[in-house]
Amino acid sequence: MISLTLTTLSISIDSEAALNIFRVKGNVKVKSSSGVSKDAKRRDTVTKKDVLTIPQGGNVEILNSDNRRIFSSIEHGTMTVQELIDKANKDAQAITRKTNTGLGDAIADNAKLKRSSFASTGVSVHTANAIIHAPIDLPDGVSYLEYLRRMKNGNEYDDDNDVILIRRNIDYDDETFNFAVFNTLDFPLYFNIIDQTSDRDLELYFQDNPIAIPKTQTIVEEYRYLVPDEEVGHILIASDQEFTESDVKKLLDPDYEPKADFYFSLIR
């Protein structure tokens, strides 16, 4: 079994992000920083400092309206909203790491596989060096990742050449979803998600990069999101090597030459 060294990615909750109660089970109480206590109700706005009291058998889910992620409590007792979010992040990270560790053998078996049709740097196309031979004509001074971030909603995205695909695995009962990724290659890929927008700072959605095993769909069940009301884009970033948020930000530079292969896809 190969030993994996996993890089922790910091996922912060913006101080201005709107936090709302998404679902409540049981007699959950919310106490504000001013000392006012009330019953927790769906759609109520809360702050990170508000204190939750969750009874035995109760549950509360918090929605971050910025990235539409849902954080669920799995313990009863008294905790702040921030403590609930931190615990949910820690639990999700632990699941990803456990899953990745279990895939260590697959990574070891495929570590020496090299693709003849994929150069040492690449985007999600089936021919040569995709940073040079991008699937579209890039404007001068714009990287492919930056091009995807700037793509307007009305512009059609062609994923015919993508080697790693993304979709939303939707639970229509509550209109939530998990990201699902299909790796068409014959070796594992690390992956992560960013918002498809150039209007805000680039941030990775997952604390650790999950692994997409070859020729298989991978559903990231440890992270759950609310289905957007309008067209919202997400960019999938994948590589055969571990990468960090800093590595992804470097890909915005059209002159940057990464040492690892990178592949992209887009869903809206």
- Please give the radius of gyration of the chain, using alpha carbons only, rounded to the nearest integer: 20
21 burial (CB, 10 Å; 0-12 / 13-18 / 19+) is buried
- Model confidence at 13: pLDDT above 60: no
| DSSP H or E run through 108 | helix 104-110
DSSP class of residue 211 equals E
Prediction pTM value: 0.82
The answer to which of 12-21, 61-70, 225-234, 242-251 has the lowest mean pLDDT is 12-21
The two tokens of residue 259 are 């040492």
% of the chain beyond a pLDDT of 70: 81
Give the model's confidence band at 113: pLDDT under 50 very low, under 70 low, under 90 confident, else very high. low
For 228, phi and psi rounded to 5 degrees? -65, 150
Give the model's confidence band at 3: pLDDT under 50 very low, under 70 low, under 90 confident, else very high. very low
pLDDT per residue as tens digits for the range 186-205: 889 999 999 998 777 899 99
Domain boundaries, the chain: 19-99, 115-267
Distance from chain centroid for Cα 27 = 32
Q: How far apart are CA 145 and CA 27, in angstroms?
A: 46
